[in-house]
């Protein structure tokens, strides 16, 4: 999905205008509504009448009027199209970048993750409610309610537009950006959330270039995004990493991601995002799947297991272990996960076990596990992939049926 120049400009300017307004008038809740209205007005007017000479000033002026309207009466939507024309103040380049302050506010602990994501995309990402609703496949009215409620909860919790200690809420902000990226991972014809997540993470990185986790997250996104063209077939079927056409990878993104990883690894701290980026970088380094340095991948998963223990990490380590010590070693590691309630019903455990059983030559068991994994997933693309894998090991399972 391509983004028009006007859309790109609006997304860039919206948080700047919001920051200016909040500093001038105080109420984040009202200012955010006003900026959204100004963005909607611009989205209608600019493509038709041309981008004004001072786009930031235009938005600030229109949003300020909306704010006054709102304060004066509740009929803020009145005169939407007639507002902007004369006495637009010239662009004042803000001397501070408000991206971080806004992100911290949108990722307020009073909100659920879903609400943090929605509010972040609107207030910092400059997306319209309709675009966010489309990205998450919910009605616009549902999304509008969710965003208003999020802002009310922040207000009630005493959330303020001020500079909090970055160290304190930074992990929550990074997690929200990570979730936005993941949401956009496979979506092709929806609002491009992966690209928005990268754009926002770049903005955070520009503010905190020395933070290893910010750098790590940006690198992880870039290295993952680089494989986008190879990850699905034109029909929308998933292509696993070892079968991807690596010439389709975006090497400019990979180079950028690798440079970031190297720079961050020279720093003092080693956090989970940086380790994940290093794993992605190890895969990117291999010209073919066969050349993958699995010993390094395994070592990195061991580190990740230690600094951020999680059954999913162990699951991934089992795949790496199977590559260096054989499928039986991987399967043995998987048995340590069987007692974990978080994973017991999860399709990933079933599909990884299926994959290792297939490698071990146990076609019948692999077939059975692929089919169970297919039942357990809620993703259609993944289900198609797992059923295809199941079918591939079916002959081994029923030798009499094979000719």
Partner 1 sequence: MKFVIGMHINPAVLEALTEQEQAAIGEGHGALLAELKESGELIMTQALADPSQSAVVSVRDGRTVVTDGPFVEAKEYLGGFYLVDCENRERALAIAAKVPDAAIPGLAVEVRQVMFYDGALEA
Note the residues at the interface with partner 1 (CB under 8 A): 112-115, 133-134, 136-147, 149, 378-380, 383
The 10 Å Cβ neighbour count of residue 241 is 14
Q: Which residue, 336 or 379, has its beta carbon nearer to partner 1?
A: 379
Q: Which residue, 167 or 380, has its beta carbon nearer to partner 1?
A: 380
**In a 3-state reduction of DSSP, which class is residue 232?**
strand
Whole-number minimum distance, CB 96 to partner 1, in Å?
A: 32
**Phi, psi angles (nearest 5°) of residue 238:** -75, 140
Tokens 């063209």 found at = 229
Whole-number minimum distance, CB 1 to partner 1, in Å?
A: 17
Whole-number minimum distance, CB 139 to partner 1, in Å?
A: 5
Helical residues (DSSP H) of 123-271, grouped into ranges: 129-135, 140-156, 166-183, 193-207, 212-225, 228-231, 251-265
Q: Which residue, 86 or 137, has its beta carbon nearer to partner 1?
A: 137
Q: Which residue, 54 or 134, has its beta carbon nearer to partner 1?
A: 134
Q: Which residue, 83 or 144, has its beta carbon nearer to partner 1?
A: 144
- 178-216 in b/e form (b: 16+ CB < 10 A) is bbbbebbebbeeebbbbbbbbbbbebbbebeeebbbbbb
Whole-number minimum distance, CB 133 to partner 1, in Å?
A: 7
Whole-number minimum distance, CB 134 to partner 1, in Å?
A: 8
Whole-number minimum distance, CB 383 to partner 1, in Å?
A: 8
Q: Which residue, 143 or 319, has its beta carbon nearer to partner 1?
A: 143
Mutual orientation of helices 311-325 and 347-359 as an angle, nearest 10°? Answer: 10
The 10 Å Cβ neighbour count of residue 323 is 19
**Phi, psi angles (nearest 5°) of residue 292:** -60, 135
Whole-number minimum distance, CB 115 to partner 1, in Å?
A: 8
**Calpha distance 62→79 (Å, rounded):** 11
Distant-in-sequence, close-in-space partners of 341: CB < 8 Å, separation ≥ 6: none
Reading the block at residue 226, the tokens are: 């680089």
**Taking a C-beta distance cutoff of 8 angstroms, is the pair 98, 15 a contact?**
yes
Q: Which residue, 153 or 286, has its beta carbon nearer to partner 1?
A: 153
């Amino acid at each position: 999905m391509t983004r028009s120049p006007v859309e790109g400009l609006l997304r860039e300017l919206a948080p700047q205008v919001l920051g200016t307004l909040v500093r001038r008038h105080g109420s984040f809740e009202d200012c955010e509504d006003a900026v959204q209205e100004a963005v909607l007005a611009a989205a209608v007017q600019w493509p038709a009448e041309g981008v004004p000479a001072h786009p930031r000033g235009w938005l600030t002026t229109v949003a300020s009027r909306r704010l006054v309207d709102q304060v004066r009466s509740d009929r803020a939507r009145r005169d939407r199209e007639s507002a902007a024309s004369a006495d637009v103040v010239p662009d004042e380049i803000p001397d501070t970048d408000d991206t971080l302050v806004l992100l911290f506010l949108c990722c307020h602990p009073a909100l659920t993750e879903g609400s943090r994501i929605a509010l972040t995309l609107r207030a910092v990402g400059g997306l319209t409610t309709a675009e966010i609703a489309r990205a998450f496949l919910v009605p616009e009215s549902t999304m509008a309610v969710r965003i208003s409620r999020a802002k009310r909860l922040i207000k009630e919790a005493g959330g303020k537009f001020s500079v909090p200690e970055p160290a304190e809420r930074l992990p929550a902000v990074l997690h929200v950006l990570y979730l936005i990226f993941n949401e956009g991972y496979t979506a092709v014809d929806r609002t491009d959330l992966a690209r928005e997540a990268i754009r926002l993470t770049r903005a955070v990185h520009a503010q905190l270039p020395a933070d290893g986790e910010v750098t790590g997250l940006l690198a992880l996104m870039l290295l993952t995004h680089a494989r986008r063209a190879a990850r699905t077939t034109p029909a929308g079927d998933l292509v696993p990493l070892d079968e991807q056409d690596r010439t389709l990878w975006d090497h400019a993104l990979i180079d950028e991601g690798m440079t970031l990883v190297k720079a961050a690894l020279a720093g003092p701290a080693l956090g989970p995002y940086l380790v994940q980026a290093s794993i992605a970088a190890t895969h990117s380094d291999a010209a073919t799947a066969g050349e993958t340095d699995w010993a390094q991948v395994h070592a990195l998963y061991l580190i990740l297991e230690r600094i951020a223990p999680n059954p999913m990490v162990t699951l991934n380590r089992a795949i790496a272990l199977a590559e260096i010590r054989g499928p039986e070693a991987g399967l043995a590691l998987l048995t340590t996960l069987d007692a974990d309630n978080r994973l017991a019903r999860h399709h990933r455990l079933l599909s990884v076990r299926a994959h290792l059983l297939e490698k071990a030559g146990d076609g019948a068991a692999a077939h059975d596990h692929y089919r169970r994994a297919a039942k357990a997933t809620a993703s259609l693309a993944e289900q198609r992939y797992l059923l295809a894998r199941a079918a591939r090991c079916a002959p081994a399972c029923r030798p009499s049926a094979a000719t």
